[in-house]
Amino acid sequence: MGISTGVLYGLIPLFAWGIADLFTKQAAEKLGGIKVLFWEKLISSLLLIIASLFFFDLPLIPVLIFFFLLIMALLNLAGYVTYYKALEVGLVSILNPIQASWVILTVILSIIFLHESLSNIQIIGIISTFLGIVLCSFKPQDLLQRKFTELLPGVKLDFISALCWGVYFVFAGYVVSQIGWFAPVFFMRLFVVSSLFIFVFYKGMDIRIPQLKFRWYVLIIGLLDLLGWFGWAYGVQTEYVSIVSPIAAAFPLATFIGAAIFLKERLHLIQYLGFAAILGGIVVLAL
């Protein structure tokens, strides 16, 4: 039995978002999360506008789908902003496993509202992938070195972000099935970047990036983020949302492997166990 097209497309965001996170981490430390988010969305929006002029036609959108797009836009923006705000005050090794919980919510809601039916072996694959994501993001040494109260900042915002993403991907799966992948991604980008324009103008933020290196970073982040969304959206056109989403969400696998190779970061046994769980889960889902 061959690997489904949807699973193969799900591997695109796994690698694209994972590699993008390497650049995002370094850029956000120097420039700030909101500035990186602004430029990344602006770049991807400009690319989509160019693509819409030469390669894609935007379809006529039914009223119900337009209403869903508005809901998605709000969830998209809220998911990004709350997560970036959580990162400003919280501990990454606490926040990332919480963030991964959006996958479980997406799977449950997809079964309920999109009427997706999963086999027992697929459920095992999803659980294995989810546990792998959590283990990859978990650093026990960070927990042992801190008091309990030091672990709490940002947790509430992170839960809100995970809730937003969990619901968002269900809406996105339905909308993509109705009008294709390009229009939802196009409108999401325009809404987010417009909202960020208003935000940075209201706050009077300096959005300039003086260092050439980080200009290249945000360009790469924008391209990879867009590539990831392309892969996910194409994947859910041929496979269940509840199958493609856990694979896409396993991007910490690519992030940590890249960090070990290029940034010489030391990986721990628990992360290797996470890698094994993710790979096992993906293999099971591909059967």
**pLDDT, tens digit (0-9, with 9 covering 90-100), for 10-43:** 999 999 988 988 888 788 778 877 888 888 888 8
The C-alpha angle with vertex 31 and arms to 35 and 230, in degrees rounded to 5, equals 50
Per the model's pLDDT, the better-predicted residue between 168 and 151 turns out to be 168
The string of pLDDT tens digits covering residues 191-235 is 888 888 888 888 888 888 878 888 898 999 999 999 998 899 889
**Burial annotation 254-265 (CB, 10 A radius, 16+ → b, else e):** bbbbbbeeeeee
Tell whether the model's pLDDT for residue 112 goes beyond 60: yes
Per the model's pLDDT, the better-predicted residue between 156 and 224 turns out to be 224
Average pLDDT of the residues in 162-174: 94
Per the model's pLDDT, the better-predicted residue between 55 and 242 turns out to be 242
Please give the radius of gyration of the chain, using alpha carbons only, rounded to the nearest integer: 18
Quick one: CA torsion of 242, 163, 221, 186, rounded to 10 degrees?
A: 70
| Distance between CA atoms of residues 188 and 230, nearest Å | 13
Tell whether the model's pLDDT for residue 165 goes beyond 50: yes
For position 251, what pLDDT does the model report? 85
For position 163, what pLDDT does the model report? 95
> At how many degrees (to 10) do helices 63-89 and 92-99 cross?
160
Contact present, 234 and 181 (Cβ < 8 Å): yes
The string of pLDDT tens digits covering residues 63-93 is 999 999 999 989 988 998 888 778 777 766 6
For position 160, what pLDDT does the model report? 92
Tell whether the model's pLDDT for residue 1 goes beyond 50: no
Tell whether the model's pLDDT for residue 270 goes beyond 90: no
Contact present, 137 and 62 (Cβ < 8 Å): no
Tell whether the model's pLDDT for residue 134 goes beyond 90: no
Going by pLDDT thresholds of 50, 70 and 90, the confidence category of residue 144 is low
Closest CA to 76 of 204, 169, 181: 169
For position 30, what pLDDT does the model report? 80
Residue 5 structure tokens: 């097209």
Report percent pLDDT > 90 for the chain: 30
The C-alpha angle with vertex 120 and arms to 118 and 123, in degrees rounded to 5, equals 65
| Distance between CA atoms of residues 242 and 68, nearest Å | 19
**What SS3 string covers 162-223?**
HHHHHHHHHHHHHHHHHHCCHHHHHHHHHHHHHHHHHHHHHHCCCCCCCCHHHHHHHHHHHH
For position 166, what pLDDT does the model report? 94
Domain boundaries, the chain: 5-286
Question: If 0-12 CB within 10 Å is exposed, 13-18 middle and 19+ buried, where does residue 145 land?
Answer: exposed
